[in-house]
Amino acid sequence: MSEWWTYELSDFLMFSPRVYVRLLAAYNAAMWPAQVVTIALGLAAAALLLVPMRGRERLVPAALGVLWTLVAWAFLWERYATINWGALYAAPAFALQGVVLIAAGLSGRLSFPATRSAGAIAAAALLVAIVLGWPLLAPLFGRPFDAAEVFGLVPDPTALATLALLAAIGGGARIVLMIIPALWSLIAAATLFTLGSSAWVLVLAAAAAAVALSVSRRTPPAPRRW
């Protein structure tokens, strides 16, 4: 008989904010200058939502998938799991998301907006805000800047940016691709809430904005395949 219902959210928060901040700072130092590359990739993805370029449907999801697998291995499995055994379960989910993104991109199952619609512009703006804004949350919420959370290297901004990107693109696979990022956004918000950080509101707001954009816009047809 299992007794999991007797646990509360706080029972699974097994580390202190201080330990997490130091872990982030050590991770950032070890990964530098990858932060420059991943932020540039995020901005390029936003630009490619609005600027038609041959092969963008394949290139952008595949590159994003590589970043998900990087987060799965370098952060969740190698670092975060040392203070949170729950990361051992999250890492395979992130790796799976990465593989599916790569496969969906390379197989041409996703379509980018053909025109600069209001929805596409809003999604691109949200993506830029997450990629550029998320690292700035560290000093805004009292953490040192060297403990910033950067898109493509840690889970929260990577999941939220993925939701923003998927909000603008078409193809049946995008709904499937939104499941893990959406679930992670909920976990991230719950973790931040339990840690006493009001940043959980921003996580939920960004995720909700992406999902709202996704359901409100007219979905472009999936690319025809022969």
Binding site for other proteins (CB under 8 A): 1-4, 6-8, 13-16, 19, 22-23, 26, 79, 82-85
Distance CA 189, CA 192 (A): 5
Distance CA 125, CA 123 (A): 5
Query: Is the CB of 185 or the CB of 191 nearer to other proteins?
Result: 191
Query: Is the CB of 9 or the CB of 36 nearer to other proteins?
Result: 9
CB of 75 to other proteins, least distance (A): 12
Secondary structure class of 89 (helix, strand, coil): helix
Query: Is the CB of 6 or the CB of 198 nearer to other proteins?
Result: 6
CB of 12 to other proteins, least distance (A): 9
Q: Is the distance from CB of 87 to CB of 81 less than 8 angstroms?
A: yes
CB of 141 to other proteins, least distance (A): 20
CB of 98 to other proteins, least distance (A): 24
Alpha-helical segments (H) within the chain: 17-31, 34-50, 56-70, 87-106, 118-133, 137-140, 155-168, 173-195, 199-216
For the chain, give the number of residues: 226
CB of 9 to other proteins, least distance (A): 12
Query: Is the CB of 20 or the CB of 184 nearer to other proteins?
Result: 20
Q: Is the distance from CB of 223 to CB of 201 less than 8 angstroms?
A: no
Crossing angle (nearest 10°) for helices 87-106 and 155-168 = 30
Query: Is the CB of 113 or the CB of 155 nearer to other proteins?
Result: 155
